[in-house]
Structure formats: structure tokens, C-alpha cells
Structure 1
């Protein structure tokens, strides 16, 4: 195995080792909270859904890429490529949109009681199931072309100029216009929530700044509420998203405009790495900053130690 493949395999392995236990821990913590408390808060339900999407990103793409790189198992035939790319793209975009949904809800949560925004927050909570449904429909629809156009790398002799190399698979579009339309749809799908979540995060930051000044003026010292801690967590997640997915989308735009089919394999690896890095790192932020998650994770660790 050459050094490039070895490095690639080790990077995907590291994402798997960090991302799978982290997301499983977050999911476990919220399921335990649901068991003991009989319900989940709106923000908790969104984060649980986010952790499930992130687990799919790491589990479906990074683990399988690791297995294929080290020749442990290879599922990347035509059918495998269609399934893996579709699930990965759907889960990846779900992660983006759920982070946007979380930031929107947190922005509404800091609104003063009785205000118009507080009413919007109540409607948000009531129709959260509908928001989830719409998010799923949007992302499945945009990812569905991969079911039609993905193929295994063994068929590379049939590739056209408008194909995209994703290492073990190829996305073989029937025409340049279809390739460009698909690329534009994916870019818009990612950039729109990124723009909105950046806006909501700026609003949250302004609120936190004014709130901290107000607290210092009254108490003469800093203070932090549960809402403020939650807001800081959301802003941290959004900042991480903007950094990593900003690079990811920049590489995607480059991929769809270059003419050399084979040279886009490196771009694909970099895109998968940066997008999967968010899926692997976000549970660490959640575990460290969320008291409820931290409590149940520590309880689980305590039970295993005592057992």
C-alpha cells in the first residue's frame, strides 16, 4: 500500500474512532433522558436527530471507506455505490439542516416572554415533527440523483467527460447540463441554511453580549443561565459548521467546474474528510457543554466501572 492510500485510510479510521463512540454516547444520553423524564425538550429532540444523522455520516462513509482502503471489505460495486453515496449525501445534508434548525430554535428561545418571537417559538415546538418531515423531503429529493448516476469504479472505462470521481465510485451524469444542475442544487441546499444559521448565530451573540453587560451592571459580576450556556453551544456548533462545510462547499464548486475527470478524486477525499470532521467533532462539543448529556454519559461510565 502506498503512502497516499495509507494516509487516507488512517484519516478515515481516526474519524470513525472518534465519531462513532461520540455520537452513540449522545444518542444514548438522550434516550436515557427520554426514559427517565418521559419526554424531550425541543432542543434535545433536535440534537438527538442531529446525532443520528452524524452517526450515519461517519458509519456509512468513513467506516466503509476505511474497510475498502485496507482491503478488509469492499461494498463499492454499482449497487453499493448508489446506496452509500445516497445515504451519505442525505445524512450529510440532514446534519447541515438540523444544525440550522437548532440555531433557529435557540434564537427564538432567547426572545422575551410574551413577544411575537416567543409565540413563534411555541409554534416551532408544536410543529417540530412537520419541520423534520420537510427537512427529510428536501434532502432526500436533492440526493436522489446519486441512486441513478452512481456506479462502481470498475466501470470507469465507460466514463464521460462530465463524470465526478469519488475514489471507489463515480457519478456519471448523462450530460454537462445535468451535472451542472445537480451541482447547483446541492450548493444551494447547503448555502441557504448556512446563510440563515450564520445570521441567527450573530443575533445570539449580540444577545449574549447585551445580556452579559446587563448582568454585570446589576450584580457587578458575570453570570450564566442555562439558556446562555445552550446558546454558546449552538454558536460553537454553527461556527464549526461554517468553517468545515465552507471548505467542503468550496471544494465542491471546484469539482463541478473542472474538466479533468480523474483529478477530482483528491477533491472528493478532502470534501468527505471536512464534512465528516463536523460529524465526528460535534458530539464532543455537545458532551462537554450539555449538562444533561454529560450527566447520563458519566452515569453510563460509572455503571460500567462499578460493574
Structure 2
């Protein structure tokens, strides 16, 4: 019978390998299409960065957690702990930011074609690169404090154990510092989650209006082609809903874990949930976004990527 520690390590390693393969597939696909001069959608730049951020989350969380589950909790030195933890925090923040940008962009694309929205729709592709750059800079600067607080492998003297990793320890001098630290990291996440919720609700409202309008149209072919953005919107909603669900579950587990003496099952559950969205998101995209499959067909020379698609974003 497999020992529990061995089973946990297999779970974390499998989660990492499967997720990284799915995300690397998207990165390779979008990069190849770009280098070969093919025209990509504005949304593809965000999806590429989301896949990169998710890969970093998996690599900086899954493998160290799998090693710790095997009992090797001091395999990183002080510098190694700082790098791994810093990369994880930056990548986790980027994953949230890119999901927020994705949801916001889609809400703008499917908005009514009045004067205000048309002007914004024309300009929004130009804002994607600057917005992405600002997200990278913000999360890199926000998490610099990690480089100071992380002290080294678990078990170092005069430092309290972190509730997030089993293999590194963090210095929290007093309750005031701990509260300030929590605010610094939680407030931006709360703002982004609120924006994701608002934009998702707005898209659901627009889809409901579209559904009522389509019901009045008797020509099936026309009703399907009336709004080609509808299917893409539903895909983004599925992706965002998956992210929000896993994020909230992980946040609840983390908050509960910080309110009591850390327990192994809580640490493992929190670690597993934090990597669940990065693992499943590429497969949600591949299965629900028909344009990705067209890109794949184009790479293998079977079909042109410029064929009309269900998505215009």
C-alpha cells in the first residue's frame, strides 16, 4: 500500500506536470503563430501571459510541495526560498490580473455599439500591452517585501513558520506587521475580484438580453451568426467562474489555516487548491475556444487560421 506522503507527492507532481504541459502548449501555439506572421486576436496576448503565469505558479508550488511531502523540507537554502516564494507570489498575482483583464476586455467587446463603446472598442487593443506591462511591474514591486521576510528553510531559529509553505519560514515580528502584510496583499486581490465579479455580471446581463432577442428570430442560421462573440463570451465566463471558485476556496482555507495552528491536511489542501486553476485553465480554453483548435490545425498545415471563427476578440 502506498504511503500517504508518497501519494501526496505523486498528486503534486502530477498536478504540476499536467498543468505545465497544457500551459506550455498554449504558449508554444501563440508564439509560433506570432513568429510566422499570422494575425492573432487581441485576447491571445492576454491568454499567453495567463498561461505563462499559471506555469510559474505550478513550477514554484507543485514541485517544492511534492518534495516537502516526501519529507525533504530543507532542500532549499535561504536564497532558494526567496526566489521560489517570490516567483509564486508574482505569478499568482499575474494570474489574477490577467484573468481580470480577460474579463474586462470581453465585457467591452460585447457591449452595445453606441458611440461611447465603439470608441473604446477601437482603442482597447492598444491598451493591452501597456496594461499587461503595468501588471508585471506592480506585482514585482508589491512582492519585494517577500525577499526581506523570507528567512530560509523551515526550522531556522527565531522565526515563525509560514502557513503557506512547509519548506520555508517567514519572519513576522508582531501582530501589526502581520496585519499590514495581509492588507498589502489582500486589498489589490479584493479589488480585482470585485471587478471580475462586476464584469462577469454585466456579461451575463448582455447574454440574457441577446438570448431574449434571438428567441424572437425564427431563422436559425441568422440567430447563430447574429452575435459571433456569444460563444467566446461563454468561454470566458466558464474560465472566470472556474478561477473565482478555486480562488475563493483557497482563500477560505488559507484564512482558516492562519486562524489556528497549522495542520498538515490544511497545508496540503491549500497548496492543491492554489494550483488547481493553473492546471485546468489551459484545458478549459482548448476545449471551449474553437480558434485555438484552428491555430493548432494551421501549425500542422491542415487549415488556415484566417478562416471565419466563432470569436472576433
Task: Normalising by structure 1, report the TM-score.
Answer: 0.87
CA-based RMSD of the aligned residues comes to: 2.7
Instruction: Provide the rounded CA distance (Å) in 1 between the counterparts of 2:50 and 2:248.
Output: 19
Flag the 1:254–1:32 CA change in 2: closer, same or farther, 3 A: same
Supply the distance in 2 between the matched residues of 1:271 and 1:190 (Cα, whole angstroms). 17
Aligned counterpart, 2:40: 40
Q: Distance in 2 between matches of 1:264 and 1:55?
A: 27
Aligned to 1:246: 248
Structure 1 alignment gaps of length 5 or more: none
Cα pair distance change 1:36/1:300, threshold 3 Å: closer
Structure-1 residue corresponding to 2:113: 113
Q: Does structure 1 retain, via aligned residues, the 8 Å contact 2:162–2:168?
A: no
Tell me: CA distance 1:207–1:68, structure 2 relative to 1, closer, same or farther (3 Å).
same
Structure 2 counterparts to residues 81-230 of structure 1, below 5 A:
81-160=81-160, 163-164=162-163, 166-221=165-220, 223=224, 225-230=227-232
Q: Partners of 1:266 and 1:113 in 2: how far apart?
A: 51
Shift of 1:20: 1.0
1:43 CA displacement: 0.8
Gaps of 5+ in 2: 303-313
SS in structure 1 of the partner of residue 157 of structure 2: helix
Q: For structure 1, which segment, 55-64 or 232-241, has the greater mean C-alpha deviation from structure 2 after superposition?
A: 55-64
* 8 Å contact kept, 2:85–2:146: yes
Matched pairs, number:
299
Give, in angstroms, the shift of residue 144 of structure 1. 1.9
Q: Report which stretch shifted further, 234-243 or 136-145.
A: 136-145
Q: How much has 1:169 moved relative to structure 2?
A: 1.0
- After TM superposition, give the deviation of residue 75 of structure 1 in Å: 4.5
Alignment-derived partner of residue 294 in structure 1: 293
Query: Does 2:71 match 1:79?
Result: no
Q: Is the 8 A contact 2:257 2:263 kept in 1?
A: yes
TM-score (norm 2): 0.85
Give the CA deviation at 1:188.
Answer: 1.6
Contact in 1 for aligned 2:111/2:206 (Cα 8 Å): no
Contact 1:19/1:283, CA 8 A, preserved across alignment: yes
**Which structure has greater helix proportion?**
1
Moved more, 163-172 or 196-205: 163-172
Is the contact between residue 166 and residue 269 of structure 1 (CA under 8 Å) also seen in structure 2?
A: no
